[in-house]
Amino acid sequence: MKRVVMGAGMVAGGLMILVVVSSRPLGDLFGYARATADTTVGELETSLPDAVRDQKVQNQLEDARGELIDRRVSLSLATGQIRDLQEEVSRLKAAIERRQTILADAWPAMEAAAGDRSQPVQFAGNSWQPDELGAEVDRLLSEQDRDEVQLKVRSEALARLEHSVQESQSAVSDMDARLQQVQTDFELLKMRREQAQSESDLLDLLATAGSSGDSTTGRLAGDLTAFEQQVREREARNTARRESAPLSESGPSRLIQSYERLERLKTLHEQRKPATEGT
């Protein structure tokens, strides 16, 4: 790897000298430098050990997991905002409905106050002077208009936020599924690479054993053939020596055996003869 980097530096320096000497545009130097850098990076990536490649992929997976966690945190916060908006919308709806019921009873009271402005009228469980009743009704109508506007704004914001959260949840689920698939593919590829390396080592071993085994077997076969030839030669030599042994060495032995056999038979005959005569 150091040789590659040093080579790239030497090439870049040589290109700079060539450009200066040849009076070529400076843009050519940058173009050549970029091409050299791209080639150098490609060579570096090709010469990287498997452990470095694995760590690079592992780091990318960790970054992706971190991004996934950040998105889930954002979704959790958005879910909390949805709950807050839902509570506020419910509160506004309840206030509007309650105020609407009160305002529905304002018409008879306002009609009675208009008929006799000197007499108090009953409204919302209280006694009101005609002028005070008008001010109270105006306040209720103003609050009703304000809450209706806020309800519309909050409802629209809630709808948009719920839609965004739904889409984000789908995107996070897809990202999680893709990340798990990438993790599974990464582990599977590492396993396949290890198996391929093991198979390659085994094939190298078989090839080495085959070539050396053939030569070793051939040498052993040659040695055994020579050994067998020596054994046969010695056996043949011994056979020849036995067949060519002198009569003086083998004759007496056979004569002695014949004499001993005759003497033994004679002894048995003489022992048998007295027994026969006695009967």
53-64 tens-digit pLDDT: 888 888 999 999
Global pTM value: 0.49
Report which of 211, 204, 217, 82 is spatially closest to residue 155, judged by C-alpha positions. 82
Mean pLDDT over residues 150-166, rounded?
Answer: 93
**112-126, 222-236, 243-257: the lowest-pLDDT one:** 243-257
Pick the more confident residue, 26 or 188: 188
Pick the more confident residue, 31 or 124: 124
Q: For 235-269, how does the pLDDT look when each residue is reduced to its tens digit (9 = 90+)?
A: 777 877 777 755 454 445 566 777 777 777 777 77
Measured CA angle at 65 (ends 62, 66), to 5 deg: 90
- Crossing angle of helices 130-243 and 50-104, in 10° steps, is 160
Residue 26: predicted pLDDT: 54
Residue 220: predicted pLDDT: 75
Measured CA angle at 88 (ends 83, 94), to 5 deg: 125
Residue 81 has pLDDT above 80, yes or no: yes
Rounded distance, CA 182 to CA 68, Å? 14
**28-42, 111-125, 142-156, 252-266: the lowest-pLDDT one:** 28-42
Pick the more confident residue, 24 or 273: 273
Report which of 18, 54, 12 is spatially closest to residue 36, judged by C-alpha positions. 12
Pick the more confident residue, 97 or 121: 97
Residue 32 has pLDDT above 80, yes or no: no
Hey, which bits of the chain come out as E strands? 121-123, 126-128
CB 40 within 8 A of CB 4: yes
Residue 145 has pLDDT above 90, yes or no: yes
Contacts 24+ apart (CB under 8 A), 190-199: 190/54, 193/50
Mean pLDDT over residues 38-46, rounded?
Answer: 57
Mean pLDDT over residues 135-143, rounded?
Answer: 88
Quote the mean pLDDT of the chain.
78
Rounded distance, CA 69 to CA 222, Å? 72
Rounded distance, CA 125 to CA 106, Å? 11
Residue 111: predicted pLDDT: 77
Q: How confident is the model at residue 113 (pLDDT cuts 50, 70, 90)?
A: confident
Q: What percent of the chain has pLDDT over 90?
A: 30
Structure tokens at 174: 């897809």
Pick the more confident residue, 110 or 185: 185
